[in-house]
Chain A
Amino acid sequence: MTAQQSPNPSSLRTRFTYRFLRALKELNKHRSATSWPSYRRVKVAADASMAAAVKSRRAWTRAVLRKIRRGHRSPRWNRPLATRELRRKIRRNHGGNPRKIRGSHGDFGQTNELRKLVPGGESMEISSLLGETAHYIKCLSTQVQVMRDLVDLYSSTPTS
């Protein structure tokens, strides 16, 4: 037996799993008979559960929660971004430390790429960006593990 037999009640993984399962249950409950929950909702539920499991200790979780809350307040089902939002996005990108984006000697393009990937990474210094990336990677891999296990369990459990 390996050491990972009993779930650590307060590990990131357990917290995320509980939240995610509860969210999935919510989704299942609220969906009407005809409309299946779009995968987008599942993904949002997963991201939200992960961010909620980490609380607001990390900059990227705060950004994720902000985004989700904003999404909830004005739910946009596949509507294109309004011009105001677009402008705000562009302005935020420019205002978010362009100097720092340029100032990293030798990793210009990649830094910007990484900023786009990590939520909330637009206006962060390189060092903090790297730290956030490390935590984000850890959480993402946990998320992937749990979701994969769930899929396997769901798909392999024969439904009566």
Chain B
Amino acid sequence: MKNDLVCAHIDKLVASHDSSVENVIIYIGEQQTTMGTEDSGDMRFPHRSDDSILNCPNSLSEKVAGVAMSSAGSMFKPSNRADPFFGSGWDPLISLSQGENFGGSSVVPRGDFSNPAYPVGLENQAGSTTSHLVHYGEMMPKLPCFVSGSFAEMVNSFGLPECGQVPSSGCPPNYPQNKEGGTEKASTNGAHSQEEDGASPKWRRKRRASESHSPFSSNKNAEGEHDRDPSGDSSEYAKEQDGKKQKNEHNIGLNLRGKQSGKQAKDSSNSGEAPKDDYIHVRAKRGQATNSHSLAERVRRERISERMRLLQELVPGCNKITGKAVMLDEIINYVQSLQQQVEFLSMKLATVNPEINIDIERILSKDVLHSRGSDAAILGFGPGLSSSHPYSQGSLPNIASTTQPFHPMPQVLIPRFHDI
């Protein structure tokens, strides 16, 4: 197998130090280009590298994968920049053996594509490395196009700005500015923020590109929409957590290279899905209709159900209710009761209002701003002010219960507030 050859070669090359990486990269790069000329070469290479990686010793596997990552860019020119790889800017690298470190650190973006064995490779390294890499590792399955971004960050620490620019040139233009923000977050937050940052460039990217789209049916069509589809595919893979990693790699390769071919048709037919062309990009999941109308319907329904969930939290006592009709009834009842309460309270205020000295209003405004919860206890309010008061028409008894003589005059109230 070719990869066994690669492994063997890398084995020899790893023995030497500084220049070895350079040779390795160039070698693998050559390998990659030859394989890339085949139609399914890109698809198959990572796959094979998975197997071979498992077979090869750990360091070798890391090397192969790391190089695979670089070769996926295929514009990677490490010629005289391999030296920075050896930890000029990255302390953990220096601490560990260089060859393994490089492979180990760079394997992460690609590692998660293949199988979960890669986290094992992660743990081999120093803790400080792991903290970086874990984030990258978490990030990887989510947004393949973002891999290039994270890779760019790592590479930048190595002093390889070119790699960072490679994906940006491949990806649509506004991706780089999102990438920086995202990569910063990668080192601080977890995968969650990565997802969001990954998501936001997707949306923005798609909004600008949306006009050129047309529904991409699952039947292969080699028509002119391909130029946007790989970015669409790769962006929407962020939503998918299934094992279509090969297509991820494939699409990234396409993204980075910007080549269009019938591979897309194959990809989409393989996945049986079609990207939806709209301002909000949704990918049809497996087994779901891929008609653009039904997708739009599904988006709408999801939005509506999301809002219903929000409302469910707002309306008290609706946690157990499932079903739009009952929920809507509850919401309507709640709104009606709130409006009735406002009316009732305004009536009360209208009767009570004239009795109040205008000066007091100023002072009392602070009371009103403060009075909630525990303040009610301090000020001697009754239970009527508890915010957990059920909305059922209970305002009358509550107000009646708070008419206890409330001796603190406004002047007395002020010191109390200062205590708080």
**Main DSSP-derived SS at the A contact region:** helix
Looking at B345, B367, B371, B420, which has the most chain A CB atoms within 10 Å of its CB?
A: B345
* Least Cβ–Cβ distance between A112 and chain B, in angstroms: 10
B35 on interface, CB distance cutoff 8 Å: no
A158 at the interface (CB under 8 A from B): yes
Bound together, the chains give a CA A106 to CA B373 distance in angstroms of: 40
Of B300, B336, B381, the residue contacting A152 (CB under 8 A) is B381
Does chain A have a CB within 8 A of B346? yes
Give B381-406 interface residues, CB cut-off 8 Å to A: 381-382, 384-385, 387, 395, 398-399, 402-406
| Distance in angstroms between the alpha carbons of A157 and B357 in the assembled complex | 11
> Could you tell me which residues of chain A, from 101 to 160, have a CB within 8 Å of some CB in chain B?
106-107, 110-111, 113-114, 117-118, 126-127, 130-131, 133-134, 136-138, 140-141, 143-160
Is A24 a contact partner of B367 (Cβ separation < 8 A)? no
The answer on a CB contact under 8 Å between A130 and B307 is: yes
Stretch of B147-155, B210-218, B253-261, B358-366 on the interface side: B358-366
Contacts known (A111-B328, A134-B314, A149-B385); A140 close to B339, Cβ less than 8 A = yes
B181 within 8 A of A: no
The dominant DSSP class at the B interface is helix
* Interface residues in B, total, Cβ within 8 A: 67
CB distance from A18 to the nearest CB of B (A): 7
B203 within 8 A of A: no
A interface, size bucket: 35 or more
Taking a contact as CB atoms under 8 Å apart, the answer to whether A106 and B325 are in contact is yes
Highest count of chain A CB atoms <10 Å: which of B356, B358, B404, B405: B356
Is A98's CB within 8 Å of the partner chain B?
Answer: no
Shortest CB–CB separation between residue A129 and chain B, in angstroms? 9
User: A94 interface residue, CB < 8 Å from B?
Assistant: no
What residues of B have a CB within 8 angstroms of the CB of A17 in the complex?
Answer: 365, 368-369
B372 and A155: CB pair below 8 A? Answer: no
List residues of A whose CB falls within 8 A of some B CB.
1-2, 4-7, 13-14, 17-18, 21, 24-25, 27-29, 31, 36-43, 46-47, 106-107, 110-111, 113-114, 117-118, 126-127, 130-131, 133-134, 136-138, 140-141, 143-160
11 A-B contact pairs sorted by A residue (CB < 8 Å)? A4-B372, A21-B365, A28-B358, A42-B350, A140-B338, A140-B342, A147-B349, A149-B371, A153-B368, A156-B403, A157-B406
